[in-house]
């Protein structure tokens, strides 16, 4: 522990330099939706990793580049740190109090696009690595970095990059930090996420919108036909009716059942601002968490047909479109689910066309693994409080690239404040949490190095 104390003290003493490093990468735009500044940001990070003492390089993909770096210490276990350096578009500038790419510090926070999501958080790992090298001349374990330039656009080329370079990216564990700590102020450790498949159903019946008085009784109405189709796909209580949809859903384990009971969940607080929460005010918190994490869903994300502006147009619309996203759980395969939906549509509305858009596989790392318990213990020591153990996030991300392709445990420990406003205006990162994140990563590195692999 003495050697770790030295590292932790150094992290405190270099606080200002660490904050300036974050400001440096926030100043550089890196919007994957448009490509603005992405390659320039990759070069900055590559240089930053090289300055720390890692062998760093930019890795091209079919889209935007990734950044890879490594420092191998022979005979030691390897952790790969994942992160993404691309950011969301800034949106309406008038909603920002300060320019999004001019990092501004006020009230103990740095404001700017990418502070919390994810430049500031990935930087915590780089600085933690630097802390060990600066204070001990070497790392206690081998480290690799894979920094994604397309996460905010679905990480569409990450899987192919990892598949083609399995040996290069191989490690004992993937560790990353994205998202906020728990709203209670306690840290949380997450062990997976749901997958997703996005589907668009298009039904084009007529050559044009038609007068409803002249044609309403004589031609098919695509809006009604789409509505009838959707009625066959999901019941009023939320059950998906597509045959085979639930066939491969992995059951909840006893260990996962147990930790659900310890996750704070305030129903009233969670649904603040939601007019009609479908769960209702008396939903049992454990049941709510189980549905949120372990139940696949089918959501209508967009539905359009005919005239939807002000006033009326008395027409039979020529076209109907429905956009659906399905959140998937282990061991559902997004390609198989798409095929099941496509088959269902062909059976019930054969004239409709079904298109596949983005997809991600679900990911799940076992809570009972020794390394899972070891990382949870490291976070507890770093924060001096037991973290909230979350079996998996209800959202989706590219974790499957590590659990499915590299077949390694993957654990997320978020560092940002709950009100980081990621994806929104005035995104920010509490600077005390930023420094605490660096220390937490240092504790994780120490545990990984001394773990009995």
Predicted local confidence at residue 269, as pLDDT: 74
Confidence band, pLDDT 50/70/90 cuts, at residue 76: very high
For the chain, give the percent of residues with pLDDT over 90: 87
Q: What is the mean pLDDT of residues 63-76?
A: 98
Predicted local confidence at residue 282, as pLDDT: 58
Q: How far apart are alpha carbons 52 and 76 in whole angstroms? A: 19
Predicted local confidence at residue 280, as pLDDT: 53
Contacts of 386 (CB under 8 A, 6+ apart): 186, 380
Predicted local confidence at residue 275, as pLDDT: 74
The H or E element spanning position 263 is: none
From first CA to last CA, the distance across the chain in angstroms is 20
The H or E element spanning position 58 is: strand 55-59
Q: What is the mean pLDDT of residues 337-345?
A: 98
Contact 162, 396 (CB under 8 A): no
Q: What count of other Cβ atoms lies within 10 Å of the Cβ of residue 428?
A: 26
CATH of domain 2-193+362-450: 3.40.630.10
Which of these ranges, 279-283, 291-295, 409-413, has the smallest mean pLDDT? 279-283
Confidence band, pLDDT 50/70/90 cuts, at residue 279: low
Could you give the C-alpha distances from 452 to 348, 367, 374, 393, in angstroms and in order? 55, 17, 10, 28
Contact 248, 331 (CB under 8 A): yes
Q: What count of other Cβ atoms lies within 10 Å of the Cβ of residue 342?
A: 18
Mean per-residue pLDDT over the chain, rounded: 95
Asked if the model's pLDDT at residue 352 lies above 70, the reply is yes
The H or E element spanning position 143 is: strand 142-148
Predicted local confidence at residue 216, as pLDDT: 87
Q: How far apart are alpha carbons 143 and 77 in whole angstroms? A: 8
Name the token pair of 338: 């798409």
Q: What count of other Cβ atoms lies within 10 Å of the Cβ of residue 314?
A: 10
Predicted local confidence at residue 179, as pLDDT: 95
Domain spans of the chain? 2-193+362-450, 195-249+296-360
The distance between the two most distant Cα atoms of the chain, rounded to a whole number of Å, is 86
Asked if the model's pLDDT at residue 231 lies above 80, the reply is yes
Asked if the model's pLDDT at residue 271 lies above 90, the reply is no
Candidates 343, 434, 422, 383; CA nearest to 90 is 422
Domain 195-249+296-360, CATH number (from 3.30.390.50, 3.40.5.10, 3.30.70.360, 1.10.287.110): 3.30.70.360
Asked if the model's pLDDT at residue 108 lies above 90, the reply is yes
**288 or 51: which leads in pLDDT:** 51
Q: Prior bond to 118 cis, omega within 30? A: yes
Chain position carrying tokens 């564990």:
173
Predicted local confidence at residue 278, as pLDDT: 63
Which of these ranges, 42-46, 183-187, 344-348, has the smallest mean pLDDT? 183-187
Q: What is the mean pLDDT of residues 113-134?
A: 98
Predicted local confidence at residue 413, as pLDDT: 98
Confidence band, pLDDT 50/70/90 cuts, at residue 285: confident
Which of these ranges, 31-45, 133-147, 214-228, 421-435, has the smallest mean pLDDT? 214-228
Q: How far apart are alpha carbons 352 and 350 in whole angstroms? A: 5
Q: What is the mean pLDDT of residues 132-148?
A: 98
Name the token pair of 134: 């600066």
Confidence band, pLDDT 50/70/90 cuts, at residue 4: very high
Confidence band, pLDDT 50/70/90 cuts, at residue 343: very high
Predicted local confidence at residue 266, as pLDDT: 78
Q: How far apart are alpha carbons 330 and 253 in whole angstroms? A: 12
Within 13 Å, how many C-alpha atoms sit on residue 284's CB side? 7
Within 13 Å, how many C-alpha atoms sit on residue 438's CB side? 30
- Strand partners for 146: 68, 82
DSSP 403: I
Q: How far apart are alpha carbons 86 and 96 in whole angstroms? A: 19
What's the distance, CA 125 to chain centroid?
Answer: 18
Asked if the model's pLDDT at residue 2 lies above 60, the reply is no
Asked if the model's pLDDT at residue 274 lies above 80, the reply is no
Contact 425, 13 (CB under 8 A): no
Predicted local confidence at residue 385, as pLDDT: 98
| Residue 271, Cβ density class (10 Å: 0-12 exposed, 13-18 middle, ≥19 buried) | middle
């Amino acid at each position: 522990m003495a050697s770790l104390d030295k590292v932790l003290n150094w992290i405190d003493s270099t606080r200002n330099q660490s904050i300036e490093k974050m400001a440096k990468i926030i100043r550089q735009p890196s919007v994957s939706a448009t490509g603005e500044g992405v390659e320039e940001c990759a070069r900055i990070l590559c240089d930053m990793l090289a300055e720390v003492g890692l062998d760093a390089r930019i890795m091209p993909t079919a889209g935007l580049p990734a950044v890879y770096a490594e420092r191998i210490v022979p005979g030691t276990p390897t952790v790969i740190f994942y992160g993404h350096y691309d950011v969301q578009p800034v949106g309406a500038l008038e909603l920002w109090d300060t320019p999004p790419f001019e990092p501004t510090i006020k009230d103990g926070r740095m404001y700017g696009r990418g502070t919390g999501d994810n430049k500031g958080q990935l930087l915590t790992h780089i600085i933690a690595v630097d802390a060990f090298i600066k204070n001990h001349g070497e790392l206690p374990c081998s480290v690799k970095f894979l920094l994604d330039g397309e996460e905010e656009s679905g990480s569409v080329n990450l899987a192919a990059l990892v598949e083609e370079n399995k040996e290069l990216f191989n490690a004992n564990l993937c560790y990353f930090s994205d998202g906020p700590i728990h709203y209670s102020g306690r840290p949380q450790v997450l062990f997976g996420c749901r997958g997703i498949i996005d589907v668009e159903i298009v039904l084009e019946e007529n050559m044009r919108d038609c007068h409803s008085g002249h044609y309403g009784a004589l031609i098919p109405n695509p809006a009604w036909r789409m509505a009838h189709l959707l009625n066959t796909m999901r019941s009023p209580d939320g059950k998906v009716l597509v045959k085979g949809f639930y066939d491969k859903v992995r059951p909840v384990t006893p260990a996962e059942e147990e930790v659900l009971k310890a996750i704070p969940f305030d129903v009233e607080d969670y649904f603040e601002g939601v007019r009609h929460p479908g769960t209702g005010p008396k939903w049992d918190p454990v049941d709510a968490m189980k549905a949120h994490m372990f139940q696949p869903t089918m959501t209508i994300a967009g539905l359009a047909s005919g005239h939807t502006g002000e006033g009326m147009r008395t027409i039979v619309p020529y076209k109907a479109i429905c956009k659906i996203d399905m959140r998937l759980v282990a061991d559902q395969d997004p390609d198989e689910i798409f095929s099941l939906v496509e088959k269902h549509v062909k059976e019930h509305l054969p004239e409709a066309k079904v298109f596949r858009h983005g997809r991600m596989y679900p990911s799940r790392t076992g809570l009972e693994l020794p390394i899972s318990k070891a990382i949870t213990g490291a976070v507890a020591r770093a924060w001096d409080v037991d973290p909230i153990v979350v079996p998996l996030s209800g959202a989706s991300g590219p974790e499957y690239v590590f659990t499915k392709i590299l077949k390694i445990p993957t654990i997320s420990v978020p560092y940002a404040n709950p009100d980081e406003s990621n994806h929104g205006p005035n995104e920010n990162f509490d600077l005390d949490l930023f420094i605490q994140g660096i220390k937490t990563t240092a504790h994780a590195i120490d545990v990984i190095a001394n773990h009995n692999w």
